[in-house]
Amino acid sequence: MPGSPLKTWTPDAVQADDDQPKAFAEYAQQTLGVPWPTLKDLILLRKKANEFFEHYPHTDWRTLCRVVDWAANRKKRYSRVWMLVDDFRKAWAAGALPELDPNRQTNATVEEQIFEALETETDESWRRRLLLAQGARQQEEVLALWRQERS
């Protein structure tokens, strides 16, 4: 039951909840003591989280919960829950979010599929696009475009 004051939130429970931003806010409230979120706070949290997930599509709400844990370990205080999303950079710099490291932002399956595509592709512009795609999201997009054109 979302919003239950008796529920003890965990990163896995936040990830599994139907309203993940609200669950995240409650997790932050329980872990850090961040004040309850206003409607505007939740709107900003959703916006900032969506932007974060757009840049790091291989992450989920558990990653943002680790930002909360990082902040709790450093006894940081926040007046608004959405401010935690902004601090992911500091948490990453402190080594708390290794999944954001550039060398870990790849999808082995997509990379294998790109190598298979390169075995058959002869067009130099497509070969260049496939080879130069950086990060999981861009690699997936280029591979999907290549497949669409080659189908």
| 92 and 133 belong to one structural domain | no
| 21 and 73 belong to one structural domain | yes
Closest CA to 67 of 97, 25, 93: 97
User: Which of 83, 102, 121 is the C-terminal boundary of a domain?
Assistant: 102
What string of H, E and C letters represents the secondary structure of the chain? CCCCCCCCCCHHHHHHCCCHHHHHHHHHHHHHCCCCCCHHHHHHHHHHHHHHHHHCCCCCHHHHHHHHHHHHHCCCCCCCCCHHHHCHHHHHHCCCCHHHCHHHCCCHHHHHHHHHHHHHCCCHHHHHHHHHCCHHHHHHHHHHHHHHHHC
Number of domains in the chain: 2
Interatomic CA distance for residues 30 and 67, integer angstroms: 14
Q: ∠101-77-12 over CA atoms, to 5°? A: 55
Res. 136: pLDDT tops 80 = no
Q: For residue 1, what pLDDT is reported?
A: 47
| 81 and 27 belong to one structural domain | yes
| 93 and 133 belong to one structural domain | no
pLDDT band at 109 (very low <50, low <70, confident <90, very high): confident
Q: For residue 5, what pLDDT is reported?
A: 61
8 A C-beta contact, residue 99 and residue 59: yes
- Domain region containing 29: 11-102
| 97 and 112 belong to one structural domain | no
Question: 44 versus 150: which is more confidently predicted?
Answer: 44
In a domain, 5, yes or no: no
| 94 and 66 belong to one structural domain | yes
| 117 and 86 belong to one structural domain | no
Sign of CA dihedral 103, 49, 97, 5: negative
pLDDT in tens, 9-33: 999 999 999 999 999 999 999 999 9
Q: What percent of the chain has pLDDT over 70?
A: 93
Residue 18 phi, psi dihedral angles, 5° rounding: -70, -35
Interatomic CA distance for residues 99 and 49, integer angstroms: 16
| 22 and 80 belong to one structural domain | yes
| 81 and 137 belong to one structural domain | no
Res. 4: pLDDT tops 60 = no
User: Which of 62, 85, 102 is the C-terminal boundary of a domain?
Assistant: 102
User: Which of 80, 102, 124 is the C-terminal boundary of a domain?
Assistant: 102
In a domain, 3, yes or no: no
Q: For residue 86, what pLDDT is reported?
A: 96
